[in-house]
Amino acid sequence: MAKYFFSSSSSNNNRAAHHCAIVAAKLLLFFTFLLLSISTAESSRQPAAAKCGGVTCQKFYAAQSGDNCAGVAAKNHMSEDLFKALNPGVNCYNIFVYQWLCVKGIPV
């Protein structure tokens, strides 16, 4: 009888541990999704026309994975030199996702 009691208790403990693991996983997924949603919402707000560093920018582009200066310039029908003039200080080999880049404006 004692053996049965302990195995039953062990089974209940296993079920409780499994339930806790499921709840923890769901909470982790929820908070990860929430953080990503907030991050994406914040980064998706396009800046208004702005003057920065002598450049008056009228249109912005949110960089995508794999973008570089030449590719963004080509997507926006502009020369790479004009792109670089509109985006002084941009590292063409390390553009990050959702980085706002000026693709229409007046360089000074």
Q: Which domain holds residue 39?
A: 1-45
Question: Tell me: the pLDDT tens digits for 43-87?
Answer: 555 555 555 556 789 999 999 999 999 999 999 999 999 999 999
Out of 45, 65, 80, a domain closes at 45
Strand partners, 104: 59
CA distance 97 to 11: 48
Dihedral sign computed on CA atoms, order 54, 60, 66, 67: negative
- Do both 59 and 102 map to the same domain? yes
Our count of domains for the chain comes to 2
Question: Tell me: the pLDDT tens digits for 12-25?
Answer: 667 766 666 676 66
- Do both 30 and 65 map to the same domain? no
| Domain CATH code at residue 82 | 3.10.350.10
